[in-house]
Chain A
Amino acid sequence: MPKVTLINPDDSRIDLDVEVGDSIMRAATAAGIEGIVGDCGGGMSCATCHVVVLDDAYLAKTPEMSLTEDQMLDFTAMEREPNSRLSCQLVMSEEMDGMVVRVADPQL
């Protein structure tokens, strides 16, 4: 199963298995990772699953950003960065195996 690495606000790292077709948000909340809140369950309504993709090459392999995601990223609790994404929209593919993301802080 492909993996992503999450870097928490305290710099600890978590390797997370994410099934192809599942979102990083779903896998992270199912695993009880506190930094990913995901209140709305993936409806692009809460902006509480904010992550920053560290490597541009990986960013290019992620699903394309929709207009709604782009707009919601303007409303995150931590100000957006150039590589910001909502992890509910990062649906896993084999290509994304090995991707590293930083968990935004705060989320709420």
Chain B
Amino acid sequence: MSQAVMESDRNQAPVLDIDPYDTEVLRSPYAFQERLREAGPIALIPKYDVYAVGRYEECATVLKDHEAFTAKGGIGIQDIRQPGDFRVPNRMLENDPPGHTEIRSVLNRYLSPIAIRKMKEKFEERAAVLADELVEKGEVDGVADIAETYILDVFPDAVGIDLPRPNILAIGEMRFNQSGPQNELYEQAMQKAQPYLDWFEHSCQREGVRPESIAHALFEAEDRGEFPEAGLASNMTRSLVGGGADSTMAGVGHSLCKLAENPGQYDLIHADPKKAGLAFEEALRLEPSFHVSYRTTYGEVELSGVKLRPDTKVGVYFGAANRDPRKFENPDDFIIERRSAGTHLGFGIGAHICIGQMIARAEAAAILGALARRVKRIELAGEPVYKPINQMRMLQNLPLRLVAA
């Protein structure tokens, strides 16, 4: 990097000398998030030579303005257009309109509210069965026994792919560390996933896809020539598995944790289980499943008066934006009646807003609602432990005591 470039960064974007992927930051990101917001509208992270945004307005702008901030450089810290990155790009997410939109509108047909309404009944049936078992046990782990067990029970049928727990957890850990820097977490996750790589390679193919599922519909759509290019049904199935399993498990875990920590808020959903969805939304505001996602400056662009370098990665920190006091009153408080759906950035915003958000909402509302009907109080039976993952915010353990109603 030339001295001139450094000078201009010093004059323009403030330098924030902190590692957003430090294990301690990943375990407790709040201090980092505040420093990022208060550094300025955008900051330069010298360790990786990338920009970072943490204020709500700027985060939303970077995600929405795809002409200034392209997704084609990939959603991770590496520029996938450069040699050396071996990740399989997501041909919809790591793309911009209009190419992106052409693919997305095909997907929209098979992830439409009509398709999802049909899934809801099954989600609720399975949630009722699991909730009965959980109440019987009393002491459970909110991550392993509730979030993982429930999502890995209902999501494979919905998406149409078998998702054995050890396989999908190892692959998820690999994918969401792989989109960060090549640190120790990255190396460890790659190693742990080795035994499952072959399974993952073959899991999103046409063979073995479950009937009446989203993947099944996508392969049929491909046969009818609905997609603009070949191979998209498999590529999109792969991205639905990646986007729909880990992030939803994370969101259900965070919801349970916040409800246990805020008994007054739990009382609201116990009194009216239809409000379970509000708790999920507010948990996603406070603890969005994704720590960060990237765009890349397209040419020399300006953001809030700061001149940015071309072809440089910009990390959007969702958790920082969702706790920005410029946007949310008492931002650190868990208040389900805030009704922040559509305002918080937990599902992103703009062209790439989460395409499976209604599936996630239906799943979360089903399991949280089923518990709310049966459980008078959810108590923490130990300290919640977070799992450091480069791109994600997720719990590892959540010891809970369910007090039957």
Contacts and interface: CB of A to CB of B under 8 A. Distances in A.
B358 A77 contact: no
Contacts of B340: 41
Interface stretch (B107-115, B122-130, B180-188, B255-263): B107-115
A72 B104 CA distance: 12
Contact of B357 (A38, A40, A68, A76): A40
A41 B343 contact: yes
Nearest to B97: A67
A83 interface: no
A50 B71 CA distance: 31
A29 interface: yes
Given A67-B101, A71-B105, A41 B342 contact: yes
A99 interface: no
Interface residues of B, number: 22
Contact of B113 (A30, A46, A67, A68): A46
**Majority secondary structure of chain A interface residues (helix, strand, loop or mixed):** loop
B113 A88 contact: no
11 contacts: A39-B341, A39-B358, A41-B281, A41-B340, A43-B349, A43-B353, A45-B358, A46-B113, A47-B112, A67-B101, A72-B108
Nearest to B341: A41
Contacts of B342: 38, 40-43, 88
Interface of B: 101, 105, 108, 112-114, 117, 277, 281, 339-343, 347, 349, 353-355, 357-358, 361
A10 B305 CA distance: 52
A46 B115 CA distance: 11
A76 B339 CA distance: 22
A71 B101 CA distance: 12
Contacts of A42: 342
Given A45-B353, A67-B101, A75 B341 contact: no
A48 interface: yes
Contacts of B349: 43
Interface residues of A, number: 22
B202 to A, nearest CB: 31
A42 B341 CA distance: 8
Most buried by A among B105, B113, B277, B354: B113
A108 interface: yes
Contact of A47 (B113, B277, B281, B357): B113
Nearest to A107: B113
A76 B113 CA distance: 7
Most buried by A among B108, B340, B342: B342
A48 B273 CA distance: 19
A84 to B, nearest CB: 14
Interface string A57-93: 0000000000110011011110000000000100000
Given A29-B339, A77-B113, 6 more contacts: A39-B341, A40-B341, A42-B342, A43-B347, A47-B112, A48-B113
Contacts of B347: 43
The 9 lowest CB-CB distance pairs between A and B, nearest first, are A41-B342, A41-B341, A42-B342, A75-B112, A47-B113, A75-B113, A75-B114, A43-B353, A45-B357
Contacts of B277: 39
Contacts of A71: 105, 108
Nearest to B344: A41
